[in-house]
Amino acid sequence: MVKAVVLVKSPKKLIAARLRMVKSVYDSFAVSGQFDAVALIQVKSLHQIKDVTTEIQNIKGVERTETMIQVV
């Protein structure tokens, strides 16, 4: 399994709840700072991360994302 953290910039107040609707997101929460929410994702293989981040980027109101992949 591959895990990643996706930082999300969005002016929408309920973006964390919308992120939870994405299949591979197992947790999300609002944060303060440069980004507005964090999505924790888990997929079976590395190439699936691109599909999940693309789905997140297509959510209405998402302005930008940054992805960090767990290294073990």
Per-residue pLDDT reduced to its tens digit, 9-67: 998 888 999 999 999 999 999 999 999 999 999 999 999 999 999 999 999 999 999 99
Which pTM value belongs to this model? Answer: 0.92
Buried b (16+ CB within 10 A) or exposed e, 15-26: bbebbeebebbe
Cα(25)–Cα(40) distance, rounded to whole angstroms? 6
pLDDT attached to residue 14: 87
> Nearest-CA neighbor of 62 among 3, 46, 28?
28
Residue ranges and CATH numbers for the domains of the chain are 2-69 (3.30.70.920)
